[in-house]
Structure 1
Amino acid sequence: MPHTTATRTDDEILAATDVSVLLRYGLTQDAFRTALFGDGAIAAAVTLDRLGVVPRSVAYVAEIVRSGGLAYAAQLPEPLPSRAASAHLRDWLETAAQAVTMPEGEVRAARWLDAVAELIGLRRGARVRRWPTGSTSGGAC
């Protein structure tokens, strides 16, 4: 039976978000910037976190964008440690590189990558802090 919106988790819904579209418009049009840095960053974090990407890898790519630009970062053979994650990120970087025509767009893209890295870190931290399944303790030890 296909998933309906009522039975899908937030992660599933966000993972289906077209991050490339949000990058294309969010880096170039103020009206879409909130969506890019909100749902777009969360969707990218969910996608990359599911693929096992650690935050520092994404933060490192943000530094590459700052120093070499989007087009340079998009041409990296493997910007992240896994092929699947690299394919997603390369697609996003290529889309951003095609959309951005001003230097401030590249700065925004690097800031967006930093936001994605932070969100991955928050997701990982939240998983570590959760109580084990079946725990009856509701307070701190």
Structure 2
Amino acid sequence: MNSASTPPPPSRTDDELAQADPAAMLRYGLSFGGPHRTALFGDGAVGAAVRLDRLGVPPRAVAFLAKVVRSGGARYAAELEEPVPGEAAAEQVRGWLETAAAVVTGPDGDEQAARWLEAVAEILSLRVTTRRAAS
């Protein structure tokens, strides 16, 4: 099938994307790869960015967390008292990190988790920048 006949993916609202379960998507995306990893880095990253945006988490905090995961691992990052600013956001992100830590094996798994956090940070940054430009 060529790309000209491939239909575009279905559109989803922010509310629909925010309903995604990043922990489950991390569990399967980091464990199995393939379409699970595609979903993790697609809808999973966008949904996580929507959630964090709504909680007021700055993109730089998520980008910094990705560096922490890359340097110390998902387990280390999950044990941080406040992995991102804000109690509600920190609780959510800690859950995501705990899930990642439970399934990653070694530096390659931590690298994938860090890349996912970088994707979330980039999407979050794009949302913030677009909102500023629109106002």
TM-score range relative to shorter protein: 0.7 to 0.9
Which stretches of structure 1, 4 residues or more, deviate above 4 A after TM superposition?
none
1:90 maps to 2:103: no
Q: Could you tell me which of 41, 49, 59 is aligned with 1:45?
A: 49
Q: Could you tell me which of 21, 24, 35 is aligned with 2:24?
A: 21
Letter in 2 for 1:98: A
TM-score where L is the length of structure 1: 0.84
Question: Which secondary structure state, in structure 2, belongs to the residue aligned with residue 28 of structure 1?
Answer: helix
Q: Could you tell me which of 29, 33, 48 is aligned with 1:30?
A: 33
Letter in 2 for 1:34: T
1: CA distance between counterparts of 2:33 and 2:67?
A: 23
- Greater gyration radius: 1
Question: Pairwise mapping of residues 1-141 of structure 1 onto structure 2 (< 5 A)?
Answer: 10-31=13-34, 32-130=36-134, 132=135
Question: What 5-or-longer segments of structure 1 have no aligned partner?
Answer: 1-8, 133-141
Give the count of matched residue pairs.
123
**C-alpha displacement at 1:30, in angstroms?**
1.8
TM-score where L is the length of structure 2: 0.88
Question: What 5-or-longer segments of structure 2 have no aligned partner?
Answer: 1-11
1:60-111 deviation line (CA, Å, top 9, x unaligned): 1111101111000000011111000000100000000001123211100000
Superposition CA RMSD, Å: 1.1
2: CA distance between counterparts of 1:118 and 1:73?
A: 19
Considering fraction of residues, name the structure with more helix: 2
2: CA distance between counterparts of 1:114 and 1:107?
A: 10
